[in-house]
Amino acid sequence: MSEDIATEEDGTTPSKQDTVTQPARPRSSRDLLRSGFGRNLGLVVALVLLCVVGVATAGDTFATGANVLTILRLAAVIGVVSVGMTFVITGGGIDLSVGAMVALASVWATTLATQQLAADYHWVFMVTTALVVGAACGLVNGLLVAYGKIVPFVATLAMLASARGLAEIISDRKTQIITVNSFTDFFGGSLIGVPVLIWIFLLVAAAGWVLLNRTTFGRRTFAVGGNAEAARLAGIKVQRHTVALYVLAGLCCGIAAVMLMARTTTGSSTHGQLYELDAIAAVVIGGTLLSGGRGTIGGTVFGVLIFTTLNNVFTLNNLSISAQSVAKGAIIVIAVLLQQRLARRSTGS
Amino acid sequence: MTGLLNMTGIVKEFPGVRALDGVDLDVRAGEVHCLLGQNGAGKSTLIRVLTGAHQPDAGMIRINDEPVQLNSPTAAIQRGIAAIYQELDLVPELTVAENIFLGHEPSRYGFSRTHEANTKARAILQGLGHAEIPVHRTVGSLPAAGQQVVSMARALSREARLIVMDEPSAVLDPEEVSNLFRVIRSLTDSGVAVVYISHRLEEIREIGDRVTVLKDGATVATGLDARRTPTKELIQLMTGRSIEYVFPPRNEVPDTAPVVLEVVDLSRPGEFAGIGFGVRAGEILGLAGLVGSGRSEVLETVYGARRAATGFVRVNGAVLRPGRVQDAVKAGVGLAPEERKSQALLLDEAVFKNITVSTLGRFASSGFLNNRAEREAAGKLALALDVRPPGVDHPVRNLSGGNQQKVVLARWLLRDCRVLLLDEPTRGVDVGARSEIYALIRELASNGVAIVLVSSEVPEVLGLSDRVVVLREGRAVHTGPAQEIDEHQVLDLVMEGSA
């Protein structure tokens, strides 16, 4: 019956209709600032500034192709975790257990039994194990939050503790060395001159962007995070969607575990220490609102790159890790202050 | 009466908008000064300037002939200005007494004196005629009307000389409103000035002394006599055209029209019991009753947002599982909830995303959204419903109340709803846009939608509905054609026994 009203109007005012059927394209500078590119502009500037500093202080080592690949390789693992984190935070939650899930997935995928299976048949078994373990942890998180009504902070804090504990039990706190050469060969290798790890990061980021911005799943994520009650009354299955978001984050941790296993050729209960903080920091400076309802994958990727580049610049200049931490903290504060300014401006009227 | 507050030439600009463009307002001690204007006329911004929340870009504020700068809410409070906002600014987790004295808690050596606070709070509430509100209950557990009283008590605890009330009656039922007016009169008798904002002209007639009318961020008339200025003149000033509430003509609903929605013996302990009615295709059924009579609860239970304890709901003959919103939505039921902002809208999202949120599947193939198709479908509806400003890419936050309501209606239109549940569809909608919403609702009915309407404004229920169910304390006390009952009879029915 909505058609009735619509067609009736169409018949009488064809000229008006034309203006609507053409989707509005942002043209003015203000619209541009609001578009995805514009919102990331500040991050691009920050990254460029960092690079300028890098070139100025350690030009001969910083501006080499090898160093760029190093930065990207280091960014890849935490980047994949951050993409998953972006979904959870945009959906109004938070996941503190990502680091622990990475550790558990890496340990489980490198037990003697799993490695034997992989050696006998294919390394796919190790990858599958990591992904399943990550997704299963995420499922538990999601069920606790959505149906157990435990606040995300607490539910995932519990997972943080128990997943890492379980990883310690399974590995007996020993580092498990990967002996399956086919696994390390594949994930340690390169494709068209670019390491496989970087390809995975790019793939996950691209898939994440599409999922968040071009699918019903993404739209519902914004709705659930922006106003869960309105989403429920609009007929969205809010609880089921919440579970899916945590599973997605867990899955990303599984992928990250595989990448970390390849980079270090080990599985260990100490993998992924403090990843939750790095990932949340990257997501937040990328422009995703901690309160939910607004999130950008592009921003998250830039956030990760900024932190990794920062580390790199400091390392090349032989500055201490402690100094890095101070700089990191400062960047987070500045980014969030800027973000609040922008948010106030957009809702000021 | 002497001049207490004098504002001249107030200008306030936001990026892209000149919200206030030369507002003059003068308020005398001991008067009720009414502020009239459509949504977006600048009332809220003016209040925010007055309470120190916004700084004006130009203009002068004088209090008792002394120029002042209100550069923070604290500064305004110190000058004796307090405000009761439309969206109450209470802390739900704190007790009534703690809320009343928030920011100036009775204390000694830094230790709070709970007993003293409770005693004082009790005294203030008694003065307001609400001694029954327990001062140590948490505010979140009070009904809306109770929270309003607490908010007012807070203003009084500051010993304010000027109290701004932004639509205080919006959440109150008639009895509460007369109580509110009694409080206002006792305040003005003691020399306090009240700036009163309301969409209801009849209230302004009853309580107001003088009226200032705002339009498009500027004062168009000031110092009008609240009792004698003709309604037509006020509306003309506000809108630039003269209109009053116009209810569209009813259309005959044939007895052969199918009963689309059947509600049978629905109950929820403590809320309502034994509610039953049927709505035919093309019919508008009105639910009238006081706040707390169970009107909204019935509606939300029909929709499945609350789980019925007994009874059931049938749509086109199929029983809906209780407590399942998705079942209701699938069966073609839509709800425009009472709290538009918190229950229906994604305020920061674009208009088209708000319209398509319940029909996303239709615009997707294997999960991928077709943005263009979404914009087109939403654009057609926005055009048909005359959503202003035109276009579907603005965030909904920037729309006025009436246009936000249209967006919610458009959402369910897009779904081809067979049953539409409307809870306070004109709450916060300005006078000009109301008739539009009324016409729209009637047009939906003409197209065969079964509509259930809840409103706290009795004339609205009677003027718009075909049949009326009157609720009192969770029970239906009258069911019959809307034309055979008048406002006084309805009020008698709902108040009987409670007075």
pLDDT tens-digit series, residues A309-330: 998 998 888 888 888 889 888 8
Q: Between A2, A20, A223, which is nearest B383 by CB?
A: A20
Q: How far is CA A298 from the centre of its chain?
A: 10
What is the pTM for the complete model shown? 0.73
Contact A215 B335 (CB under 8 A): no
In a domain, A55, yes or no: no
Q: Tell me, what's the pLDDT at A344?
A: 59
Highest mean pLDDT among A32-41, A153-162, B168-177, B419-428: A153-162
Q: How far is A216 from chain B (nearest CA, A)?
A: 6
Tell me which residue of A135, A160, A161, A159 sits closest to A148, measured CA to CA: A159
In a domain, A233, yes or no: yes
> Domain limits of chain B?
3-239, 259-495
With cut-offs at 50, 70 and 90, classify the pLDDT of residue B144. confident
In a domain, A239, yes or no: yes
In a domain, A76, yes or no: yes
Those residues whose C-beta lies under 8 Å from the C-beta of residue B489, and which sit 6 or more positions away, are none
Contact A232 B379 (CB under 8 A): no
Question: B15 versus B305: which is more confidently predicted?
Answer: B305
Give the start-end residues of each E strand in B395-497.
419-423, 450-454, 467-472, 475-481
What angle (nearest 5°) sits at the alpha carbon of residue B445, between those of residues B444 and B446? Answer: 90
Q: Tell me, what's the pLDDT at B243?
A: 44
Query: Are B3-239 and B259-495 equal in CATH topology?
Result: yes
Coil, helix or strand at residue B432: helix
In a domain, A14, yes or no: no
What angle (nearest 5°) sits at the alpha carbon of residue B333, between those of residues B331 and B336? Answer: 160
CATH number at residue A250: 1.10.3470
Residue B153 has pLDDT above 90, yes or no: no
What is the average pLDDT value for chain B, to the nearest integer?
85
Contact A227 B16 (CB under 8 A): no
Contact B384 A8 (CB under 8 A): yes
A-chain residue closest to B361, CA distance: A216
Residues of chain A with C-beta less than 8 angstroms from the C-beta of B449: 1
Q: What percent of chain A has pLDDT over 70?
A: 86
User: Nearest 5°: phi and psi at A282?
Assistant: -65, -40
Whole-number Å distance between alpha carbons of B486 and B463: 10
In this structure, of A22-36, B72-86, B192-206, B288-302, the range with the lowest mean pLDDT score is A22-36
Q: Tell me, what's the pLDDT at A13?
A: 37
The count of domains in chain A is 1
In this structure, of A211-220, B28-37, B433-442, the range with the lowest mean pLDDT score is B433-442
Those residues whose C-beta lies under 8 Å from the C-beta of residue A271, and which sit 6 or more positions away, are A99, A102, A103, A106, A107, A257, A260, A264
Q: Tell me, what's the pLDDT at B496?
A: 60
Dig out the tokens for B109 from the structure. Answer: 């050596």
Dig out the tokens for B76 from the structure. Answer: 């305004």
Q: How far is B344 from chain A (nearest CA, A)?
A: 4
A-chain residue closest to B446, CA distance: A1
What is the topology classification, in CATH, of domain B259-495?
Answer: Rossmann fold (3.40.50)
Residue B247 has pLDDT above 60, yes or no: yes
Tell me which residue of B342, B343, B345, B338 sits closest to B291, measured CA to CA: B338
In this structure, of A339-348, B129-138, B242-251, the range with the lowest mean pLDDT score is A339-348
Q: Tell me, what's the pLDDT at A37?
A: 54
In a domain, A223, yes or no: yes
Collect the ranges in chain A with pLDDT lower than 50.
1-35, 347-349
CATH 2.60.120.380 fits B3-239, yes or no: no
Question: Quick one: A16 exposed, middle or buried, by C-beta within 10 A (0-12, 13-18, 19+)?
Answer: middle
In a domain, A45, yes or no: no
With cut-offs at 50, 70 and 90, classify the pLDDT of residue B499. very low
Contact B326 A235 (CB under 8 A): yes
Whole-number Å distance between alpha carbons of B198 and B202: 10
Whole-number Å distance between alpha carbons of B177 and A232: 33
Question: Quick one: B230 exposed, middle or buried, by C-beta within 10 A (0-12, 13-18, 19+)?
Answer: exposed
Residues of chain A with C-beta less than 8 angstroms from the C-beta of B344: 230, 233-234
Structural domain that includes position A71: 65-334
| Residue that is written with structure tokens 């009240």 in the block | B194
